[in-house]
Amino acid sequence: MGRQPWSLPVIFSFAVLLYSSNCVAQDFNPRLPKLPKLPKLPKLPKLAKLNFDWFKEIPPSPELYKTAPEIIAIRGYPSEIHHVVTDDGYILELHRIPAKSRNSRVVFIQHGVFQKSNCWVISPSSRSLAFQLSDLGFDVWLGNTRGNSYSRNHTTLNARNLDFWNFAWDELGNYDIPAAIEYVLKTTGHSKLIFICHSLGCAYSSIAMINHPKLNDKIELLIFLAPVASCAYSMFNHYNWISQLIYPIEFLMRLIRLGKVADLSPTDARIQNFFCGRMYIQARFCTEFLKIFLGQHFGNFDMEDFQLIQPTLTAGTSVNTMVQFFQNNKIGFGFNAFNYGPRENMKRYGTKASKTYDLNLVTAPVHVFYSDNDYLVNSKDIEWQVNQLGNVKSIHRVLDTKFDHVDFFFGKNVNEMVYNTLFSLLPSATVI
């Protein structure tokens, strides 16, 4: 039988894929890791345990498909939309819940990867961080980093252009965070602000203060919620396996010209809600499925809120942002810049290896909150990070053994586990 016309391109592509992983990875291991056990797929409840209330329809939320400013207005709070241009031309959208008093302290809240400002306002107001801070009298600002659904404009680039998506943690920290902080301080007339971040938002913030040391003096208080820096001990087996293959995966993504990931369009959101948000049993099943990616205890929220939660988890980011996570997972303990390969690293960093960030240069006063059940940020990584930071004031371990990564903004018991303590650390809302 003759050779198929597509066989040579396929063989060539596969050979290039393997070769690229060998050439690009400075710590390439020719032995592929053992395949992890496949995550268990969600099981439908046994008939004897079925609660027929699960087959009832979930009342559509008036906040479904709404923007963060629209949700803020629906809740009865004032809202503002601001736009900030970074030094490299990205246009970021910030959302504000202004305080009644001009003398109110400013709090800036930064989301993590894949997310947007909605994550701080879709929970019931009584356990939403943004609304509770506003009730306490603070001037609340919500950040949105480049690439998420609010920040897809640029002075010269189009989001449909692959060049728009050429960024990773380094650019988010070096450009987005400083631009947002400087804009907020200039707009409010304050010299300092309180900065609260979650997950990778803390990595961006650390990079900002390392690269721009003067920013440390402009942060009155820095609060890290489940902060990412070292990713060595992530408890997701499939994440650890992907990290071993990240270089050929990255090459493949570049080959097919894929610039963004985890991007849920408005149409996608409606389709997703059709399958996951109309009935309680749908929400329950989809919650079980998401445990594959978010941890076995994902679901610590009211099922009525799932229709608002699911689109918030996929607001989009660049491929490089995710690649950098797996690169840092692969190196063990460490907090490194993006690894472009030996040649490009030499041009950018002056060394064949990627640059290592010195967390000791983060000198703003830091309070750290973490959970033992966090499948993404392991307590060993937290311990390493705390020992590296330059000015840690306190460390707070969540007592609930089932509290996970997204519970820091969605959890039903987030007030008792995190926010009540967080509020006690804050100075008075009014600057005297």
Q: Which residues are catalytic?
A: 199, 405
Question: In whole angstroms, what separates CA 127 from the centre of its chain?
Answer: 20
∠ CA 82-147-311, nearest 5°, is 90
- What sign does the CA torsion over 295, 301, 302, 306 have? negative
Q: Can you tell me the distance from the alpha carbon of 138 to that of 105, in angstroms, rounded to the nearest whole number? A: 5
Q: Which residues of 142-179 are buried (b: 16+ CB within 10 A; e: fewer)?
A: bbbbbbbbbbbbbeebebeeeebbebbbbbbbbbbbbb
Phi, psi of 351 (to 5 degrees): -140, 155
Residue ranges of E strands in 60-206 = 80-85, 90-97, 106-110, 139-142, 153-154, 193-198
Taking the C-alpha atoms of 294, 122, 107 and 79 in order, what is their torsion angle to the nearest 10 degrees? 150
Strands 392-397, 366-370: parallel, antiparallel or unpaired by DSSP? parallel
Residues 240 and 375 sit within 8 Å (Cβ to Cβ): no
Question: In whole angstroms, what separates CA 299 from the centre of its chain?
Answer: 18
Query: Which H or E run includes 72?
Result: helix 68-74
**Nearest CA among 136, 146, 88 for reference residue 113:** 146
Q: Can you tell me the distance from the alpha carbon of 411 to that of 280, in angstroms, rounded to the nearest whole number? A: 18
Alpha helices in 119-220 (DSSP H): 129-135, 169-171, 177-188, 200-211
Q: Can you tell me the distance from the alpha carbon of 243 to that of 331, in angstroms, rounded to the nearest whole number? A: 9
Q: Can you tell me the distance from the alpha carbon of 310 to that of 259, in angstroms, rounded to the nearest whole number? A: 22
Residue ranges of E strands in 24-98 = 80-85, 90-97
Both tokens of residue 251?
A: 């090459």
- What sign does the CA torsion over 213, 216, 218, 222 have? positive
Beta bridge partners, 219, equal 193
